[in-house]
Homo-oligomer: A and B are copies of this chain.
Amino acid sequence: MALAHAILVSLMDFPCTGYELGKRFDGSVGFVWKASHQQIYHELAKLEFQGWVSSETIPQEGRPDKKLYQVTELGKNQLIKWLKTPCEPTHTKDELLLKFRAGYLVPSQAILEELERHRKAHQQKLSVYQNLEQLYTQNSQELSQEAKFRYLTVRRGIHYETAWLTWYDEVIRVIGDVKTNPE
Protein backbone atom coordinates (compact mmCIF):
# COMPACT_ATOMS: atom_id res chain seq x y z
CA MET A 1 0.00 0.00 0.00
CA ALA A 2 2.60 2.53 1.07
CA LEU A 3 5.01 1.55 -1.69
CA ALA A 4 2.45 2.88 -4.14
CA HIS A 5 2.47 6.18 -2.27
CA ALA A 6 6.26 6.28 -2.05
CA ILE A 7 6.33 6.00 -5.85
CA LEU A 8 3.71 8.73 -6.23
CA VAL A 9 5.66 11.03 -3.90
CA SER A 10 8.81 10.45 -5.96
CA LEU A 11 7.04 10.99 -9.28
CA MET A 12 5.55 14.24 -7.94
CA ASP A 13 9.10 15.63 -7.86
CA PHE A 14 9.48 14.89 -11.58
CA PRO A 15 8.48 12.14 -14.06
CA CYS A 16 10.75 9.08 -14.09
CA THR A 17 11.23 5.67 -15.64
CA GLY A 18 11.08 2.55 -13.49
CA TYR A 19 14.82 2.26 -13.78
CA GLU A 20 15.39 5.80 -12.55
CA LEU A 21 12.97 5.26 -9.69
CA GLY A 22 14.99 2.21 -8.77
CA LYS A 23 18.10 4.35 -8.46
CA ARG A 24 16.28 7.02 -6.50
CA PHE A 25 15.00 4.36 -4.08
CA ASP A 26 18.61 3.29 -3.64
CA GLY A 27 19.57 6.88 -2.89
CA SER A 28 17.77 9.78 -1.27
CA VAL A 29 14.23 8.36 -1.48
CA GLY A 30 15.58 5.20 0.10
CA PHE A 31 16.26 7.15 3.27
CA VAL A 32 12.50 7.07 3.89
CA TRP A 33 11.47 4.02 1.86
CA LYS A 34 13.37 1.03 0.45
CA ALA A 35 12.24 -1.07 -2.50
CA SER A 36 13.83 -3.36 -5.07
CA HIS A 37 13.50 -2.73 -8.79
CA GLN A 38 11.26 -5.79 -9.17
CA GLN A 39 8.83 -4.39 -6.66
CA ILE A 40 8.91 -1.00 -8.35
CA TYR A 41 8.18 -2.35 -11.84
CA HIS A 42 5.39 -4.46 -10.45
CA GLU A 43 3.85 -1.57 -8.53
CA LEU A 44 4.15 0.80 -11.50
CA ALA A 45 2.21 -1.65 -13.66
CA LYS A 46 -0.49 -1.82 -11.00
CA LEU A 47 -0.60 1.95 -10.61
CA GLU A 48 -0.94 2.43 -14.35
CA PHE A 49 -3.72 -0.16 -14.50
CA GLN A 50 -5.54 1.77 -11.76
CA GLY A 51 -5.00 5.04 -13.61
CA TRP A 52 -2.97 6.66 -10.83
CA VAL A 53 0.02 7.11 -13.15
CA SER A 54 0.34 7.30 -16.91
CA SER A 55 3.31 6.36 -19.06
CA GLU A 56 4.83 7.53 -22.28
CA THR A 57 6.93 5.00 -24.16
CA ILE A 58 10.19 6.41 -25.49
CA PRO A 59 11.67 4.22 -28.24
CA GLN A 60 15.40 3.59 -28.06
CA GLU A 61 17.97 1.90 -30.25
CA GLY A 62 20.07 -0.98 -29.03
CA ARG A 63 18.29 -1.17 -25.69
CA PRO A 64 14.75 -1.70 -24.43
CA ASP A 65 12.31 1.18 -24.79
CA LYS A 66 11.92 3.49 -21.82
CA LYS A 67 8.63 4.14 -20.11
CA LEU A 68 8.42 7.59 -18.56
CA TYR A 69 5.83 7.64 -15.81
CA GLN A 70 3.98 10.59 -14.33
CA VAL A 71 1.23 11.03 -11.75
CA THR A 72 -2.29 11.57 -13.11
CA GLU A 73 -4.89 13.89 -11.57
CA LEU A 74 -6.54 10.84 -10.04
CA GLY A 75 -3.21 9.74 -8.64
CA LYS A 76 -2.53 13.14 -7.15
CA ASN A 77 -5.96 13.20 -5.52
CA GLN A 78 -5.37 9.76 -4.05
CA LEU A 79 -1.98 10.88 -2.77
CA ILE A 80 -3.50 13.91 -1.06
CA LYS A 81 -6.25 11.74 0.41
CA TRP A 82 -3.57 9.44 1.83
CA LEU A 83 -1.59 12.37 3.21
CA LYS A 84 -4.63 13.41 5.21
CA THR A 85 -5.17 9.92 6.64
CA PRO A 86 -3.55 9.19 10.01
CA CYS A 87 -0.97 6.40 10.09
CA GLU A 88 0.47 4.19 12.78
CA PRO A 89 4.04 4.50 14.05
CA THR A 90 6.42 2.22 12.18
CA HIS A 91 6.81 -1.31 13.47
CA THR A 92 10.35 -1.69 14.66
CA LYS A 93 12.34 -4.56 13.28
CA ASP A 94 15.97 -4.05 13.98
CA GLU A 95 18.13 -7.07 13.44
CA LEU A 96 21.23 -5.46 14.95
CA LEU A 97 19.43 -4.50 18.16
CA LEU A 98 17.87 -7.94 18.39
CA LYS A 99 21.34 -9.46 18.13
CA PHE A 100 22.66 -6.98 20.61
CA ARG A 101 19.99 -7.93 23.15
CA ALA A 102 21.29 -11.50 23.04
CA GLY A 103 24.90 -10.33 22.91
CA TYR A 104 25.73 -11.95 26.25
CA LEU A 105 25.61 -15.35 24.52
CA VAL A 106 28.75 -14.78 22.45
CA PRO A 107 32.18 -13.26 23.14
CA SER A 108 31.64 -9.53 23.35
CA GLN A 109 34.35 -9.02 20.74
CA ALA A 110 32.04 -10.55 18.12
CA ILE A 111 29.30 -8.09 18.98
CA LEU A 112 31.68 -5.14 19.13
CA GLU A 113 33.04 -5.91 15.67
CA GLU A 114 29.55 -6.10 14.21
CA LEU A 115 28.67 -2.85 15.98
CA GLU A 116 31.75 -1.20 14.54
CA ARG A 117 30.70 -2.19 11.00
CA HIS A 118 27.31 -0.64 11.53
CA ARG A 119 28.78 2.44 13.20
CA LYS A 120 30.81 3.11 10.07
CA ALA A 121 27.72 2.75 7.88
CA HIS A 122 25.84 5.23 10.05
CA GLN A 123 28.79 7.60 9.99
CA GLN A 124 28.76 7.50 6.20
CA LYS A 125 25.04 8.08 5.97
CA LEU A 126 25.41 11.02 8.30
CA SER A 127 27.99 12.54 5.95
CA VAL A 128 25.61 12.15 3.03
CA TYR A 129 22.84 13.88 4.97
CA GLN A 130 25.17 16.67 6.04
CA ASN A 131 26.12 17.31 2.44
CA LEU A 132 22.45 17.42 1.47
CA GLU A 133 21.77 19.76 4.37
CA GLN A 134 24.32 22.23 3.04
CA LEU A 135 22.36 22.58 -0.19
CA TYR A 136 19.53 24.05 1.82
CA THR A 137 21.49 26.17 4.26
CA GLN A 138 24.27 27.62 2.12
CA ASN A 139 22.32 30.38 0.44
CA SER A 140 20.69 32.52 3.03
CA GLN A 141 17.43 33.18 1.21
CA GLU A 142 14.18 31.86 2.64
CA LEU A 143 13.35 28.30 1.58
CA SER A 144 10.16 27.54 -0.33
CA GLN A 145 7.48 25.53 1.45
CA GLU A 146 8.45 22.45 -0.56
CA ALA A 147 12.14 22.93 0.21
CA LYS A 148 11.41 23.28 3.91
CA PHE A 149 9.76 19.85 3.99
CA ARG A 150 12.66 18.29 2.17
CA TYR A 151 15.18 20.07 4.34
CA LEU A 152 13.46 18.82 7.50
CA THR A 153 13.37 15.28 6.11
CA VAL A 154 17.14 15.50 5.77
CA ARG A 155 17.34 16.94 9.29
CA ARG A 156 15.42 13.92 10.54
CA GLY A 157 18.08 11.73 8.94
CA ILE A 158 20.77 13.69 10.76
CA HIS A 159 19.04 13.29 14.11
CA TYR A 160 18.54 9.59 13.44
CA GLU A 161 22.14 8.84 12.51
CA THR A 162 23.54 11.02 15.28
CA ALA A 163 21.45 9.11 17.84
CA TRP A 164 22.99 5.85 16.63
CA LEU A 165 26.51 7.24 16.89
CA THR A 166 25.88 8.54 20.41
CA TRP A 167 24.59 5.12 21.41
CA TYR A 168 27.65 3.35 19.99
CA ASP A 169 29.90 5.57 22.10
CA GLU A 170 27.86 4.66 25.13
CA VAL A 171 28.07 0.94 24.36
CA ILE A 172 31.85 1.15 24.10
CA ARG A 173 32.02 2.89 27.47
CA VAL A 174 29.84 0.22 29.15
CA ILE A 175 30.98 -3.04 27.57
CA GLY A 176 33.96 -2.07 25.43
CA ASP A 177 36.51 -2.74 28.17
CA VAL A 178 35.14 -6.08 29.28
CA LYS A 179 37.89 -8.61 30.00
CA THR A 180 35.70 -11.61 30.73
CA ASN A 181 34.61 -13.11 27.44
CA PRO A 182 32.11 -15.95 27.71
CA GLU A 183 32.58 -19.14 25.63
Contact = CB atoms under 8 A, between A and B. Distances in A.
Interface of A: 2, 5-6, 9, 12, 30-34, 76, 79-80, 82-84, 86-106, 108, 110-111, 114, 117-118, 121-122, 145-146, 148-153, 155-156, 159-160, 162-164, 166-167, 170-171, 174-175, 178, 180, 182
8 contacts: A2-B98, A9-B101, A83-B111, A87-B95, A90-B95, A100-B149, A101-B153, A145-B178
Contact of A153 (B89, B97, B114, B162): B97
B150 A95 contact: no
A80 B105 contact: yes
Contact of A32 (B34, B92, B104, B174): B92
B118 A102 contact: no
Contacts of A167: 152, 155-156, 159
B92 A6 contact: no
B95 A2 contact: yes
Contact of A175 (B31, B93, B111, B148): B148
A145 B96 contact: no
A21 B162 CA distance: 32
Contacts of A98: 2, 5-6, 9, 32-33
Contacts of A102: 9, 12, 79, 83, 149
